[in-house]
Amino acid sequence: MSVAAGETAEETAGETAGEIDFTHAMARVPGPVVVTTTVDDSGRRWGFTASSFVSLSLDPPLVTVSLDKKASTHAAFAVAGHFMVNVLAHDQSEIARRFATSGVDRFAAGDTELLERGLPGIPRAVVRLACRMHEVVDGGDHSMLVGRVLDCVTSHEREALVYVDRGFVRPAARG
């Protein structure tokens, strides 16, 4: 719910959905499974499975990726000059799980390499978007990383992985 012109947040506070109801509702909304990666000034690679990814603008080409402010990767991404969005393929759910797990070396499996713009990426992803950081926007308990898309690589040979109802699914075959 948005705050209408002339209303204050306090006036609408009693009208917002409860956290549990909202969480259950959003679990029903399918979304692409995205691993976002970057490299810092010291050469260390960072990555996470995004909780939300959407296109924002065609002109200029902008996308947003949401990142929990409590995530171990938040500080690195908040100051990153560039990042890569990797939209995973239907058979890459293990990569998504690994990049969503705390306390593990997310890059140890060797399924990433330096790709467009020298960013760590997943070669077999169905889409890779190399982005320059356009803006970091406050979004409550998350930050929205707004990226200006510099390079697009798309594979039409594989289906994307989708997350819905707290599980990974493969889209139905095209008819």
**pLDDT at residue 13 is higher than 60:** no
142-157 average pLDDT score: 95
Running DSSP on this structure, what letter comes out for residue 77?
H
Residue-level pLDDT at 164: 79
Match 């890059």 to its residue by tokens: 107
129 beta partners: 85, 152
Residue 76 dihedral angles phi and psi, to the nearest 5°: -65, -45
pLDDT digits (tens, 9 = 90+) for 41-58: 999 999 999 979 999 999
74-97 average pLDDT score: 97
Using alpha carbons, select from 63, 32, 26 the residue that is nearest to residue 50: 32
Question: How many angstroms separate the Cα of 68 from the Cα of each of 52, 92, 101, 141?
Answer: 10, 22, 13, 6
pLDDT greater at residue 175 or residue 29 = 29
The total of other beta-carbon atoms located within 10 Å of residue 54's CB is 12
Q: Hey, CA dihedral for 168, 142, 87, 59, is it positive or negative?
A: positive
Question: How many angstroms separate the Cα of 23 from the Cα of each of 14, 28, 51, 64, 152?
Answer: 18, 9, 12, 20, 32
Q: State the pTM of this model.
A: 0.85
Q: How confident is the model at residue 175 (pLDDT cuts 50, 70, 90)?
A: low
Average pLDDT taken over every residue of the chain: 89
94-99 average pLDDT score: 97
116 alpha-carbon distance from chain centroid: 18
pLDDT digits (tens, 9 = 90+) for 99-139: 999 999 999 999 999 999 999 999 999 999 999 999 999 99
Residue-level pLDDT at 75: 96
